[in-house]
A and B are shown apart, each in its own frame.
Chain A
Amino acid sequence: QKEVEQNSGPLSVPEGAIASLNCTYSDRGSQSFFWYRQYSGKSPELIMSIYSNGDKEDGRFTAQLNKASQYVSLLIRDSQPSDSATYLCAVPMDSNYQLIWGAGTKLIIKP
C-alpha cells in the first residue's frame, strides 16, 4: 500500500516567520511530487512541483526533496495571513497516474 503522510496540524506560525511543512512517502520509486494549497471551501491549487533532489524556489515558496530519506518539504518565507490554508502533498502512482494524497496540514498564520 503506497502512502503519503503529513502532520495534520494545525501548524501555527507568526506572520513574517518561515512556515515549514513536511511530507513523507512510502514508494521509493516515486519520481514527481506536488504541493497543493486549499483554502476553505475552494478546490486545491498547485503551488509547487518538484522532480529532482534538492531545492526548488518560486517566490516565497521553496520545495525540498530528499529521495534517499523519502521526504519532501515546503517552506514558506515571510508568511502572510493569506497563506493560512490547508497544504496537501501528492505523489503520482506511475502505473495509472492516480495521485496519492496526504491528509493535509492546516497552516495558520497569526498576525
Chain B
Amino acid sequence: SAVISQKPSRDICQRGTSLTIQCQVDSQVTMMFWYRQQPGQSLTLIATANQGSEATYESGFVIDKFPISRPNLTFSTLTVSNMSPEDSSIYLCSVRGQGPYGYTFGSGTRLTVV
C-alpha cells in the first residue's frame, strides 16, 4: 500500500492567518482525499483532489476557505485560510489503494488556532 508523508504534524496558529498542509505519496495516485476530524468525532470529507482538475468540495466546505493544490500524481496541499478557533482540528490526507489495501492515511496535522 502507498506511504504518505504529511507535514506539518502539528501547528499552533494565530487567528486570521493561513496554514498549508502538504502530503507526499510514494507512488502515483489518481485521487487524494482531504479530511477533517474533530476531537471524538468521525472523519468528515473536505474535498477530493484529482490531478489536473479542480478539487471537488463537499457541502459546507468552499474553495476560498480550503484551497487545494494537486500539481502532480504524488503531491497535494490543503490550505486552511483566514483561520478561526473553529478550524482547530486534525486534518488528514488519504489515497485509495488497490484491491484489498483500502485507503491509506497520512499521519495527520493537528491544528490549533488561538
Contact = CB atoms under 8 A, between A and B. Distances in A.
B43 interface: yes
Interface of A: 34, 36, 41-46, 49, 51, 88, 90, 96-99, 101-104
A42 B108 contact: yes
Given A44-B43, A102-B42, 19 more contacts: A34-B103, A36-B102, A41-B110, A42-B107, A42-B108, A44-B92, A45-B105, A46-B102, A46-B103, A49-B101, A49-B102, A88-B43, A90-B103, A96-B56, A98-B33, A98-B45, A99-B43, A101-B42, A103-B41
A43 B33 contact: no
Nearest to B56: A96
B15 to A, nearest CB: 24
Contacts of A99: 33, 43, 45, 103
B13 interface: no
Interface string B87-114: 0000010001000111111111010000
B61 to A, nearest CB: 13
Chain B's interface: helix, strand, loop or mixed, by majority?
strand
A101 B92 CA distance: 14
Nearest to A50: B100
B73 interface: no
B42 A43 contact: no
A44 B6 CA distance: 14
B74 interface: no
Contacts of B41: 103
Contact of B42 (A42, A46, A51, A104): A104
A104 B38 CA distance: 13
Contacts of B102: 34, 36, 46, 49, 90
Contact of A96 (B1, B48, B100, B107): B48
8 contacts: A44-B43, A45-B105, A46-B1, A46-B101, A97-B31, A99-B33, A101-B42, A101-B43
Residue of B31, B100, B108, B110 with most partner-chain A CB within 10 A: B100
Contacts of A42: 107-108
